[in-house]
Amino acid sequence: MLRVEGINTFYGAAQILFDLSLSIERGETVCLLGRNGAGKTTTLRSIMGLTSPANGRISFNGEDITGKPSFVIAQRGIGFVPEDRRIFPSLTVRRNLDIGAKKGSSGNGLAEWTEKIIFEHFPQLAKVADRVGEYLSGGERQMLAIARTLMGNPELVLLDEPTEGLAPLMVQEVIRIIQTLKEKGMSILLVEQHPKALSIADRVYVMSKGEMVYEGDAKEILDDAALKQRLLGI
């Protein structure tokens, strides 16, 4: 459903991504790994149209979305949950959800997300529904960032290190939610360092210094300690 073919992305004069390719099939959970600074965030930003690649091609559901403005890409059905959450601090949780909202299921058998359903899946958020973003805890912010993106009823979500900086209990909760999304048939591109993420993933990509260096089944890595050590340093 998502096809990234040979993209090169720059920040100013500095080239960050080199001839990078990846693909995600419908309903798949794909994990993107790599050390800090490898270019994982830049990859997600390229897909989302926030930092458009200089060349190469990105297509989604067969449509070329290379160089399209990010709001068009979001409307086509790709949701983005940024690394730093970026919730709107002076707006309440409900209003934050409104900003992400796009009515109607994206089709493909995915059920529609509404505020009510969101609050069922994120009970912690329901409790603070009328609190402004500024006063949310780190965990609540991450929940809200995910929930806000889901309100746009995407077919594919790009999650950038969703467990980063969270307390162990919140990490569990985030992983449970990703698991739920997967069971609902959502396609997921997950950037994550947490080893737990590997057990959710169907497939794994590893990048280093802006290049894709490995692609394989998640199982392969999990089962092969030597490979795991080499690729992830764990």
Ligand X SMILES: Nc1ncnc2c1ncn2[C@@H]1O[C@H](COP(=O)(O)OP(=O)(O)O)[C@@H](O)[C@H]1O
135 lies in the binding site for ligand X (CB under 6 A): no
* Alpha-helix runs per DSSP H in the chain: 40-48, 70-76, 93-100, 115-121, 123-127, 138-150, 168-183, 195-200, 218-223, 225-232
DSSP 92: B
Residues contributing to the site for Mg ion (CB under 5 A): 41
Determine phi and psi for 159, rounding to 5 degrees.
Answer: -110, 120
Q: Which of 20, 24, 33, 80 binds another protein (CB under 8 A)?
A: 80
Report the SS3 class of residue 123.
helix
Contact by Cβ (8 Å): 169, 151: no
Site of tokens 């959800």? 97
Among ligand X, another protein, Mg ion, none, the one that 67 touches (CB under a kind-dependent 5 to 8 A) is none
Contact by Cβ (8 Å): 103, 63: no
Q: Which of 29, 42, 142, 153 binds ligand X (CB under 6 A)?
A: 42
Radius of gyration of the chain (CA): 17
53 lies in the binding site for another protein (CB under 8 A): no
Site of tokens 């794909």? 30
Q: Which of 27, 34, 39, 82 binds another protein (CB under 8 A)?
A: 82
Among ligand X, another protein, Mg ion, none, the one that 86 touches (CB under a kind-dependent 5 to 8 A) is another protein
**Window 6-35: residues binding ligand X (CB under 6 A):** 11, 14, 16, 34
Which residues form the interface with another protein (CB under 8 A)? Answer: 48, 50, 69-71, 74-75, 80, 82, 86, 88-91, 95-96, 98-102, 148-149, 152
Rule CB under 6 A: which residues touch ligand X?
A: 11, 14, 16, 34, 36-42
